[in-house]
Amino acid sequence: MTKHLLLGQTLSYSGDPMAGDWQDVTHHDSAGAVLVDGGQIAAMGSAETLRRAHPHAKIHDYGDALISAGFVDAHMHYPQTAMIASWGKRLIDWLNTYTFPEEMQFGDRSYADAVAARTLDIALAHGTTTLTSFCTIHPESVDAFFGAAADRDMAVVAGKTCMDRNAPDGLRDTAQSAYDDSKALLEKWHGKGRASYAITPRFTPTSTPDQMHALGALWGEHPDCLMQTHLSEQVDEIAWVRGLHPEARDYLDTYESAGLLGERGLYGHAIHLEPREIDRLAEVGGALVHCPTSNTFIGSGLFDMAGLRARGISVGLATDTGGGSSFSMLRTMAAAYEIAQLRGTALHPAQLMWLATEGSARTLHMGGKIGALAQGAAADICVIDLASTPAIAQRATRATDLWEALFPTIMMGDDRAIAQVWVNGVAR
């Protein structure tokens, strides 16, 4: 099997740059190299050293481009691809006006196949090598997504979105069918190839207590699976949950009482959390997923990155397509920076890149396997052109270090900045 040696600037991490001084765990080599053997990163080091050690490896010289781990999108909705950037609604109106009508079409396998393929190809064009997606209530939508990912050899996480109330006819299942369908899909896909299954109640307003308990029971039977849902995205959503569940201590309690709170839980948005909710998430090790372009696009609020990380809570980064307004994790990093600024924290480029790669991978319990430029990790790699447009290039020429060169691409970059993507050791 041919070994491949990728040459360029390299960016890697030996720890969490959000937990202390980022400089202690962030490693940049201006003349670095990554050795790819099969689907894995076999070695990292200086270009000179690895060229001598592996004289027969095929050389891919990316010049001054930055070689990074592929981006990991920790929360998105592939069925919303076609309706991304739909105008001006709050969450509940937005679901009823745009989301639910579009999701009705995913019982048609050919339609689901076409959108799944399009979503994954767009993601790859933006340097994203792993997606964590909600599907629809239709098992066909799950099969389509996992099938398209298998065709591209991508590591993905997904699950059937379960809803048995407050949704249109044709988009509701039942407590029993949610359990049965999810169990069958889990057994079909979880751990097969690079697929991981996530048990997926959309959120409390669209699942009855019976359905939530059924999915909690399924998670208890398969604790190695992830569970993904939404939490405290908008204040009117929280008021709705209070009206539906006056017995609950808070929004998180509706999940906890159903067995849907745990360390392998992924809770999207989590903007308006109560102190007890923060305490419980920290205690159990549940992960939050920050969706900054979505939070601003539909007016949800400002995520407290610094405060939640200070409590030791794991946080990933995500596009939340199509509530999010971009497929790009570069744009998502830019929005995360802007929101943090509004809350009084300036996230460093090293921290933003970590959140979009290894940080998100850790929320998926795949740290060291994906999202990492490290020996033994999957060779899911993104090569970033730091001068992809005239506007970015003219700013980068003034840079005195990597961070000044990289930050303009984070703030202004798009798919034009992605020079190459490698998926499981294969250049695409």
- The enclosing domain of 191 has a CATH number of 3.20.20.140
- Determine which of 74-83, 89-98, 274-283 has the lowest per-residue pLDDT on average: 89-98
Q: Are residues 56 and 151 in the same domain?
A: no
The verdict on residue 261 lying in a domain is yes
Angle between helices 139-152 and 109-125 (to 10 degrees): 40
The verdict on residue 142 lying in a domain is yes
Q: Are residues 271 and 246 in the same domain?
A: yes
Quick one: which of 205, 226, 98, 111 has its CA closest to 162?
205
Q: Are residues 191 and 209 in the same domain?
A: yes
The verdict on residue 334 lying in a domain is no
Number of domains composing the chain: 2
> What are the C-alpha distances in Å from 358 to residues 145, 365, 418?
23, 10, 18
DSSP state of 70: P
**What integer best gives the mean pLDDT of the chain?**
97
Residues contacting residue 395 through CB under 8 Å, at least 6 positions apart? 408, 412
The verdict on residue 168 lying in a domain is yes
Q: Are residues 223 and 307 in the same domain?
A: yes
Kindly state the tokens that stand for 404.
Answer: 């000044």
Q: Are residues 66 and 79 in the same domain?
A: no
Q: Are residues 259 and 112 in the same domain?
A: yes
pLDDT exceeds cutoff 80 at 288: yes
* This prediction's pTM: 0.97
Q: What's the CATH code of the domain at 378? A: 2.30.40.10
Q: What is the pLDDT of residues 28-66, one digit of tens each?
A: 999 999 999 999 999 999 999 999 999 999 999 999 999
Q: What is the pLDDT of residues 302-328, one digit of tens each?
A: 999 999 999 999 999 999 998 889 999
Q: What is the pLDDT of residues 227-247, one digit of tens each?
A: 999 999 999 999 999 999 999
Q: How confident is the model at residue 94 (pLDDT cuts 50, 70, 90)?
A: confident
Q: Which domain holds residue 396?
A: 3-70+372-427
Kindly state the tokens that stand for 36.
Answer: 């790819």
